[in-house]
Structures are given as C-alpha cells and as structure tokens.
Amino acid sequence: MTENIPITGIKNYELFYLVSNQYTEDELKTIKEKVNSILKKYGGQLGYSESLGKKKLAYPINKINHGYYVITEFELADPTLMKSISNDLKLDKEVLRAQLIAKPKITLKEIERQKRQRAKAAEEAKPKAEERPMAKQKESKKVDMKQLDEKLDEILKDDAII
C-alpha cells in the first residue's frame, strides 16, 4: 500500500495592497520595503513589483478616500505561511488593505503585452470626436418685435392688473 505524498513546490503569489495617501512618495518607498521584508521573513522570493499610483478608493476606509495601490509578486515554498503573512500585513498600520492570491507565473514580456492590450482596449472604448453626439441646441422661436409690443399692450390694457 502506497501513501499519497503531496508534492509541494514553489508557488507564485500576488500581493495587492493599499497604503494611505497621508504618506508621501518617499515614505511609500520605505513602506514597500517594510512589506517586502515581511515577505522575505517567511521565505518569499520577490519578483515583479509595480506601484499603480495614487487613486480614489471605491469607498472610504478609516475615513480615508485616496490611497496608493501596489502590486508585488513573490514565490513561496510553504503555502501554510500565507496566513502568517496575512496576519502581519493586517497588523501593519500603514497598510489599509491587503489581498493575497495564488496565480500562475508570467514573464515581464507577458506583463508588458497585457498592459498594451489594456491601453489599446481603453483607447478603442473612447468615442472618437466624429462619433460623439452633438450637444442639443435649444431651439428658440424668434418673435417679431411688433408682435411682442402688441402682446404687451394687450396685457397692460387688461383691468386684472392692479
């Protein structure tokens, strides 16, 4: 009788986290280094990392409406350590939210290709100048001055005005 021994290998993960906008760009660099040190502490091998910049949050978190979005990919041999990494990130006061997901590893060329595809799709989604609907112009009826004077005289002759 043979036992099924699980084959564990190095898996690729992605960490997406938000940092409050109360910090400057320089402070963001030290926060990113701090998060990277948390990953390294548990044996994570860092890979691709990208800062997506400061953006408006979908909803306020702790009365904060804007934050820095950061994505970091890393490899980890022991998936049981994900809970510990998640707990450490929750305890970090600079990190508003963090999400860890397992994902297949892709190359830098593939990442650049995906960025170009997203940019092209966004460009195609924008309506072109000739396709944009013209603003409706208010139709105005031209009134002859003579007709206007007659209407005014009629109103003023009426005894209903006191």
100-111 confidence digits (pLDDT tens): 988 887 777 887
High-pLDDT (> 70) share of the chain, %: 83
The residue that leads in pLDDT, 32 or 108, is: 32
Q: Tell me how far apart the alpha carbons of residues 92 and 68 are, in angstroms, rounded to a whole number.
A: 15
**Mean pLDDT, residues 113-124 taken together:** 84
133-155 confidence digits (pLDDT tens): 666 666 667 778 888 888 888 88
Q: Which amino acid is at 30?
A: T
pLDDT band with cut points at 50, 70 and 90 for residue 113: confident
The pTM score is: 0.61
3-class secondary structure, 70: strand
Q: Tell me how far apart the alpha carbons of residues 74 and 126 are, in angstroms, rounded to a whole number.
A: 35
Question: Domains in the chain and their CATH numbers?
Answer: 11-124 (3.30.70.60)
